[in-house]
A and B are shown apart, each in its own frame.
Chain A
């Protein structure tokens, strides 16, 4: 299907602005996304640190921030979620690594639409600025949570921060939608149209499949979020009543009538559920890639992995109601949604079995990327298995909106997906910067983070069972929460240690860019196309020599082969894969 037509490749740019600021090169743009995400994750982590500290010491006056009032705490909750979900988990895996690596892995000189690519990054950046600005306007950042349920999010008088701060929040999200749609357009067109000769769809690395399917999810989901946001802006500012029925705030009758708070939830979660798959699918792709490379074995069940990715993507659009079991939605709909939700556990399980199958009778090399890939599998299992509890409406009755829910989604999004980003960083850093990251620092970072994140999020399950509700700024007012405070203390201490340990990663990242050991073109002895080209890759990725692909992506330890890996463009015996 690919036309194999060369992209209209721009000549290598000159000048700082064209090379590093408004670059059209997907590699530069990928790094721009990555560093935006890196900035965002440290802001997001800092917010979560403030949150955890406040929960344990509600009266504390902290440096830089002062004393934290309930509305401040809720503003941190809201901004932490928004920054992490959008500007970290939807930015680094897809915009960052996807942009950098996808064209190279399919043998293309760049993305299909380089100008659009540049615009999509800068639009994302504008969205980021708009979001952060909410902290600095009068009233501060909004307090309605990253999920922004109406009417709380739709009424300017419903709380501090619900004025201009909330308008900036929804505007930032709308801008982010447009930026993501532009990116999705590029990913899909590039994957369909720019594959090199011989790069059949079923020879694409699983990372490419993951980015491709993620882009399709984004293409279908972000338009709906945009529609939800437009309706919210209209309700907030122009007096419409899409979401707001007749309500009275602080004794004042608001001018709205007849709207439905559930409409916001339906529109938001129709986007919101695919969004969490957007956050995790690239990490799954990276895990498959890294496990195979360092196990020196083909990925177990490549086709099943592809179909599982598709299955997760498709089913991901049919389960949004499981966020709404307690919302007042029809219980019959709840039943239907819960069946679909249990069904989506099946392709996820298939992937886990296949990862285990890849390790079975392998020859594992424990470089840092591999540690993170193995960590991903462990965390995905842990986080995934709390899903079947929440997926059953009858069990959701005691568990909905308790700490059990953030335990579930943090293990998957807040840790496993992040491990996917770490694995990708350690894995592709040599190709991007021509140097190796430090292995010892990588190991220390891995161990502290693995144990630390388990120490933070495993106990949250217990807190949820005991009935601790979400988004409480302190636990002093509800009597049955008092004896949960010691466990909360433990979590806070674990968080302080784990967050601090991320500085090791930051140091390793920047130090290695200048002082890391020089990397060869293929330090991991991997098979995919990015390892066939120079380190770092030239402007057009392949120095004028478009690769021709003869093999599948994971031909490791092929019996009879001269060495334990066959690169995809190896001209020797074309294999059956």
Chain B
């Protein structure tokens, strides 16, 4: 039985670790400026935790087999513990865990403590049951007013977010169902929600933030490669949660300008 435990525990450990190392299922490629740092912190954590995992499971399996009752008079080590050992492994664990945390903190600070830089592209993302809408403030750089009473989800775009065209600042606002972004420019994101909590999750950008009703949350990220990247809602928002997805299209600055101009003209 001890041998069986050793074999099964070691096998499970080996199999789990194998699929992690082989990256059979892994993060999608990160195409944002922050992705490299986030992925690096993940790798460091993963290696350290992986070592602990293998050692701990290995020891468990080994002890289960090695110290099985063999029916002989082999003496048991009567011991109530070892203070020195306790102190050592407590200190090591504390250093490891706290150290890991502190190592990752500068990345968090860069992502979240500071606002977007001047000159970044402003986009407002609004989540509602069960679609994402994106608003560009236009030439005046200001988002116009929205009015809850004007919200009509079935009409899409401007009506879905309740754009109040009586506000002059709203006249040049462009609302779309697909998010266009110019490559290599920071995005100054404002996240809003109309009904319940949603979460704006773009795996390729290593970006996630809940969109909370009653709040306008300012975030930023910088896409660094042209392409189409899927958005998935990452906070349970009702029966359509599984199909509340969208698309981020990162294009060249030229293409972005052309697209925006075309949408402005169409208003």
Contacts and interface: CB of A to CB of B under 8 A. Distances in A.
Nearest to A557: B76
B214 A327 contact: no
Given A149-B235, A342-B101, A361-B67, A297 B77 contact: yes
Nearest to A347: B90
Contacts, number: 331
Contact of B162 (A248, A350, A363, A365): A248
B235 A401 contact: yes
B261 interface: no
A303 to B, nearest CB: 7
A566 to B, nearest CB: 11
Contacts of A389: 42, 45-46, 49
A391 B12 contact: no
- Which of B41, B85, B107, B108: most chain A Cβ within 10 A? B108
Interface string A500-540: 00000000000000000000000000000000000000000
Given A149-B236, A301-B80, A378 B9 contact: yes
A331 B209 CA distance: 12
Interface string A545-575: 0000000000011110000100000000000
Interface in A127-149: 143-145, 149
Interface residues of B, number: 101
Given A335-B108, A356-B59, A394-B104, A155 B25 contact: no
A454 interface: yes
Interface residues of A, number: 118
Contacts of A465: 25-27
A307 B238 CA distance: 43
B155 to A, nearest CB: 10
B230 A326 contact: no
B213 A462 contact: no
Contacts of A339: 98, 101
Interface in B143-168: 148-149, 151-154, 162
Interface string B166-182: 00000000000000000
A156 to B, nearest CB: 13
Interface stretch (A32-40, A257-265, A414-422, A427-435): A257-265
Contacts of B75: 557
A472 B67 contact: no
B63 interface: yes
A394 B38 contact: yes
Contact of A159 (B217, B235, B238): B238
Contacts of A57: none
B214 A261 contact: yes
Interface string A260-279: 11100000000000000000
Nearest to B211: A328
B207 interface: yes
B259 interface: no
A378 B60 contact: yes
B129 interface: yes
A469 B201 contact: yes
Interface string B60-81: 1001100111000011111111
23 contacts: A71-B239, A74-B238, A247-B214, A259-B214, A300-B79, A300-B82, A301-B82, A301-B86, A328-B209, A350-B89, A359-B63, A363-B76, A366-B2, A374-B60, A382-B57, A388-B97, A401-B201, A466-B25, A473-B239, A475-B242, A478-B245, A487-B25, A557-B75
Interface of A: 69-71, 74, 143-145, 149, 151-152, 155, 158-160, 244-251, 253, 258-262, 295-298, 300-304, 326-328, 331-332, 334-335, 338-339, 342-343, 345-346, 349-350, 352-354, 356-357, 359-366, 371, 374, 377-378, 381-382, 385-386, 388-389, 391-395, 397-398, 400-402, 443, 447, 450-451, 454, 458-459, 461-463, 465-467, 469-475, 477-481, 484, 487, 556-559, 564, 577
Interface of B: 1-2, 4-5, 8-9, 12, 15-16, 19-20, 24-28, 37-38, 41-42, 45-46, 49, 52-53, 56-57, 59-60, 63-64, 67-69, 74-82, 85-86, 89-90, 93-94, 97-98, 100-101, 104-105, 107-109, 111-113, 128-129, 148-149, 151-154, 162, 194-197, 199, 201, 203, 206-210, 212-215, 217, 230, 232-243, 245
Given A366-B1, A462-B24, A475-B242, 12 more contacts: A152-B196, A247-B214, A248-B148, A298-B80, A326-B234, A338-B101, A343-B94, A360-B67, A394-B105, A462-B26, A479-B230, A559-B78
